[in-house]
Amino acid sequence: MSSLVSIRFQAFDLEEMAQAEGRVVIIIPAEGKMGPAARRANRLTRGAVARLVESDRFAKVKPGDVVSLAWPAGMAAEALDVLVLPRRPDTDEARKAGAAIAKCAAGKPVLVMAANQVRTEDLAMGIALRSYDFDAHKTKESDAPGGVVIAHSKHAEVEAEFAPLYAVADGVRMTRDLTNEPANVLTTTAFADRLAEMESLGLTVEVLDEDKLAELGMRTLLSVGQGSDSPSKVVVMHWNGGDKDDAPLALVGKGVVFDTGGISLKPAAGMEDMTMDMGGAGVVAGTMRALAKRKARANVVGLVGLVENMPSGNATRPGDVVRSMKGDTVEIINTDAEGRLVLCDVMWYAQERFNPVGMVDLATLTGAVIIGLGHENAGVFSNNDTFCDAFLKAARAEDEGAWRLPLGKKYDDMLKSRIADMKNVGGRPAGSITAAQFLQRFVKDGTPWIHLDIAGVASVAAETSYAPKGATGWGVRALSRFVADNFE
């Protein structure tokens, strides 16, 4: 498991700049007006900062850019980082500026001379998110990550404002760790064990084994994992931070720890990426961690279906018919469309047991959503405009791309089966939509529901504003904000 970068706040003191090691950050707006920290750095470096501000290079910088002066004279630091940022940035500007600081830091100790900078808590959030590094399986020992010290004239107030953001950043870290782990490490059992460890945070965690799942009638979920030696499990995480009698919000995640496609075997090229097919369960886990650590005043239940989809003599075959927990029969046309078979049983169980005020499911469900939306937006489907709009508002506030796609009867008709109540796929056209239509059949009337297809955003091949390449942790920030704005 990775560790979250240490961020400490202290009183603003100009005398610390000269002897600080690692990197020192000063903040200057684009118009070049120097505050106390910049003027002090300018004196220490014998006018280097003023020369930078007056240069053609500085004239071309944009808000959020960092210009580094290596081995500045008069200072012990190995670099003086000049962050270009308005005095009153918006949330995105402040967080992306923090991410830029973290990227420059590369694990070195950092002193940020924030003075009286507005939105310093968001600056710190950007640092926390972008400082992530997953190196658990590298044999060469990494240098211990340098801590970050932020000097601010109102350090106690900023620290208090940052505390819930830091909790969310820790949830993002957990989601990234889970999504990045190889499948021989993150087995279904290991995954369940990591979730059970969160009882130390105040969550109540239940692990349902295969015997219990069979007793409950979760036959579609069990059909996905029956070709694997790893036992299928459902983990239920309770956070009871609201009134005792309030119905919870339900979060449901697909947790396919490795997806070969089963008998409908995937091509070999790129199959190694299928360690991330548990990304939906990872987001649910990280969100539950964030809610517990920030003591959310709401009742939320997180449920994840943990399976491995493998080919074997016992694996489900194309053409098999399986009865769901709901009682509907499903003709399995393609065993690589397995995530919906996991989700439908867990969604039905969540509604039967908890009668939730609303339900959100997350899954790396279809390649089709990547064709439609690329890696910038998750696909959003919903049966309730008010519920959906509230989530989209939260996602926009957290700069997490999400785009609503349609549902409709014509799409639903594509799932008709000759021998069962439905097929598990509707063909190539509108593949993400027909997958959502399949799931909607397992949503009870009156239950507000959102389906998030995160196949394009859970793990990416290039770095993002807030993460190195690999797992992004997409969704934890948006869901935490969604809970805060609508259920607390």
CA angle 198, 203, 207 (to 5 degrees): 75
3-state secondary structure (DSSP) of residue 452: strand
Please report, as a single letter, which amino acid is at residue 449.
Answer: W
Are 5 and 145 contacting, i.e. CB atoms less than 8 angstroms apart?
A: yes
Point out which residues pair with 149 in neighbouring strands: 8, 111
pLDDT digits 0-9 by tens, 57-105: 999 999 999 999 999 999 999 999 999 999 999 999 999 999 999 999 9
Residue 208 is predicted with a pLDDT of 98
CA angle 218, 256, 131 (to 5 degrees): 140
CA 342 – CA 362 distance, rounded (Å): 11
Please report, as a single letter, which amino acid is at residue 275.
Answer: T
Are 236 and 250 contacting, i.e. CB atoms less than 8 angstroms apart?
A: no
Please report, as a single letter, which amino acid is at residue 415.
Answer: L
Residue 145 is predicted with a pLDDT of 60
Are 123 and 83 contacting, i.e. CB atoms less than 8 angstroms apart?
A: no
CA 392 – CA 398 distance, rounded (Å): 10
CB within 8 Å of 471: residues ≥ 6 apart: 134, 175, 176, 177, 178, 179, 180, 276, 279, 282, 458, 459
Residue written as token pair 């499948």: 183
What residue ranges define each of the domains in the chain, with the CATH number in brackets? 7-153 (3.40.220.10), 169-486 (3.40.630.10)
Residue 142 is predicted with a pLDDT of 59
Among residues 253, 420, 435, the alpha carbon closest in space to that of 323 is found at 420
Among residues 83, 293, 308, the alpha carbon closest in space to that of 187 is found at 308
Helix axes 385-397, 476-486, angle to 10 degrees: 120
Residue 143 is predicted with a pLDDT of 57
pLDDT digits 0-9 by tens, 211-268: 999 999 999 999 999 999 999 999 999 999 999 999 999 999 999 999 999 999 999 9
CA 360 – CA 368 distance, rounded (Å): 20
Which residues are marked as active site? 266, 340
> Which parts of the chain have pLDDT scores under 50?
none
Are 351 and 446 contacting, i.e. CB atoms less than 8 angstroms apart?
A: no
Point out which residues pair with 208 in neighbouring strands: 234
CB within 8 Å of 408: residues ≥ 6 apart: none
3-state secondary structure (DSSP) of residue 424: coil
